[in-house]
Structure 1
């Protein structure tokens, strides 16, 4: 099970704490929707900004977050591959 969270009101004028909470839910701009795992911590984040977001429980599973390598590591790997080829 997951929570479907949507930013339905503008975050303009909100405190830094609320902006961080919205960012922690993965919402960036007005109208964004995300599926997050239905955990007590995520429910707490939603409760904190309940006047800015709408949420509903859905039967889908939340997608696993994609992990990206840091830019420095990607550049290093490319350089090593290039050196190995030629």
Structure 2
């Protein structure tokens, strides 16, 4: 994901990578911590990691990481 290259804070980057690993091992959406459905956007979710948000989409049962941006930018560029 190209957005990860722009994160300068190593602690935040490590936390984001940990969340991405949790996404790979989760069997259901309920097993993913801090996952919230976006209001007004069908099939889109977000996970908070400090001041950053990971934007996710789900279609045909496949969860895809779309964006990882600062909270001031994520809702302008996602979904």
Q: Is TM > 0.5 for Structure 1 vs Structure 2?
A: no
The one of the two structures with greater contact order (alpha-carbon pairs below 8 A, sep at least 6) is 1
Q: Structure 2-normalised TM-score?
A: 0.34
Structure with the larger strand share: 2
Higher CA-based Rg: 1
